[in-house]
Amino acid sequence: MRSALATILRGSGLGAVAFVVFGPITNLALWAFAVQWYFPYKLPVVWGFKYWYEVFKPRSDAWESLSTSVLIALFTVAACLVLAVPAGYAIARGRLPWRGGILLAFLLPQAIPSIAVYFNVARIFYGVGLNGTIAGVVLVHTVHGLVFAVWIAAAAFAAVDRELELAARNVGASALRSFLTVTLPLAAPGIMASVIFVFLESLDEFTGTYFVGVPDVTTLPLLMFTASVAGNYQIAAITALILLVPSVGFMLFIERFLKADVLAKVGG
């Protein structure tokens, strides 16, 4: 009797979560196939693929923009990892001078809405020839990604028990070796979570891309931005659905890798 009640409660709880999560997304899916939808109709009046054709028509550069977006996001992830892992470790472990100030500095790019900043970055990049290059856009995205990468990496390293590291050092492992074999694997789950955020942040970014990339480098979020702000719901919905594919794919890829890692440790 009690368990039946629990099942019902559990089911309705999950149902409520599903409604909250998928309600707004359903809207997205409906708009992607709505050719006509207006008052007083509660659902689209005419359905179809009209706007899918719009997005993927022969003259459109949706595919190219999509692959550019994914490429930039992957490079951004790589750059953030290279920079954030040592930085996060130092923040978590070391007796770092101005530790608070340094952490605050990494928050800046996410905290200040930054059109004025991009404008100056573009000015610098035009001077050194980085404007209109993939590298330039990756750099701009990296600055934003570092907020997540450094903060989360620092928390992940801080959560690793210091004693384990010291034990490895005591049996003769070098500092680098004990870091690579003990500390890094233990902090990996947290770092991987941050990598997902870096990837998503890059994949959704459009203001920096505009100032530094356009017109030579164009990404899919630029199209999504124009469409969304102007209320071209169908185009915006379709672009967002397309962007779901690399986003979810990347996360599954990361999780698969993580699981393999964890299993290897258990087995070995």
Positions in 91-130 near another protein (CB under 8 A): 91, 93-97, 100, 102-124, 126-127
203 close to 240: Cβ distance less than 8 angstroms: no
251 contributes a contact to another protein by CB under 8 A: yes
Which residues from 203-242 bind another protein, rule CB under 8 A? 203-204, 210-211, 214-216, 218, 221-237, 240
174 contributes a contact to another protein by CB under 8 A: no
Distance, CA of 205 to CA of 140 (rounded, Å): 10
Q: Which residue do the tokens 């659905």 mark?
A: 241
Q: How far is the CB of 112 from another protein (least distance, A)?
A: 5
Query: Which residue number, 97 or 266, has a Cβ lying nearer to another protein?
Result: 97
62 close to 56: Cβ distance less than 8 angstroms: yes
Q: How far is the CB of 191 from another protein (least distance, A)?
A: 10
Query: Which residue number, 22 or 49, has a Cβ lying nearer to another protein?
Result: 22
16 contributes a contact to another protein by CB under 8 A: no
173 contributes a contact to another protein by CB under 8 A: no
8 contributes a contact to another protein by CB under 8 A: no
Residue 230, H or E segment: none
Strands (E), the chain: 34-36, 46-47
171 close to 182: Cβ distance less than 8 angstroms: no
Distance, CA of 266 to CA of 185 (rounded, Å): 12
Which residues from 27-66 bind another protein, rule CB under 8 A? 27-28, 30-31, 34-40, 42, 45-46, 54, 57, 59-60, 64
Distance, CA of 150 to CA of 95 (rounded, Å): 17
Which residues from 130-169 bind another protein, rule CB under 8 A? 131-132, 139-140, 142-143, 146-148, 150-152, 154-155, 158-159, 166, 169
Q: How far is the CB of 76 from another protein (least distance, A)?
A: 12
Q: Phi and psi of 164, rounded to 5°?
A: -60, -45
Query: Which residue number, 142 or 182, has a Cβ lying nearer to another protein?
Result: 142
Residue 8, H or E segment: helix 2-32
Residue 205, H or E segment: none
